Amino acid sequence: MNLGPMEYIVARIDGDYAYLQQQDNPQEELKCVARALLPPEIGEGSQLHYEMMEYTLKQ
């Protein structure tokens, strides 16, 4: 399990799930994450920082 830090972009939102694209490894498969684990204000194209099992919105 990778505890980060990692940077992601929200590629798409599908109901209760968001699909995240790893910024430094764009050929990697999208990561499906429950939206309940993400900041509520995310949208497609939002940039996220992941570290120690926590996602935060980058400004």
Q: pLDDT grade, residue 1 (50/70/90)?
A: low
**Separation CA 7–CA 51 (nearest Å):** 9
Structure tokens at 2: 């990778």
pTM to 2 decimal places: 0.89
Taking residue 45's Cβ as centre, other Cβ atoms within 10 Å add up to: 9
DSSP label of 30: P
d(CA 40, CA 2): 23
* pLDDT in the model for residue 50: 95
pLDDT in tens, 10-24: 999 999 999 999 999
Mean pLDDT estimate for the chain: 93
d(C-alpha 57, C-alpha 9), whole Å: 10
Task: Look at the chain and count its residues.
Answer: 59
